[in-house]
């Protein structure tokens, strides 16, 4: 099987127990690893939305 196009959608938990969904559609280049591309897109999704609730809770706890 040859995968040419990838659609990846992520549900990211943000502060106050809210969620945001972000998605990407990308064309894979010859030889790209699907698993690595999905992980890269997951990182980009988190960067686009910001810190997750877990990170916010951890940073608030450490500040106390």
Work out the pLDDT band at 63, boundaries 50, 70, 90. low
Burial class (CB in 10 A: 0-12, 13-18, 19+), 41: buried
Q: How many CB atoms lie within 10 A of CB 51?
A: 16
Specify the pLDDT at position 39: 93
Mean pLDDT over all residues of the chain? 83
Break the chain into its structural domains and give their ranges. 5-63
Specify the pLDDT at position 29: 94
Please tell me which residue, 25 or 55, carries the higher pLDDT value.
Answer: 25
* Average confidence (pLDDT) over 27-47: 92
Nearest residue to 49 via CA among 23, 22, 24, 26:
22
Specify the pLDDT at position 9: 94
């Amino acid at each position: 099987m040859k995968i040419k196009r990838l659609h990846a959608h992520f549900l990211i938990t943000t502060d106050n127990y809210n969620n945001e969904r972000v998605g990407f559609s990308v064309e894979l280049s010859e030889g790209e690893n699907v698993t690595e591309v999905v992980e890269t897109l997951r990182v980009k999704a988190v960067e686009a939305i910001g810190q997750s609730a877990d990170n916010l809770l951890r940073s608030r706890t450490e500040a106390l």
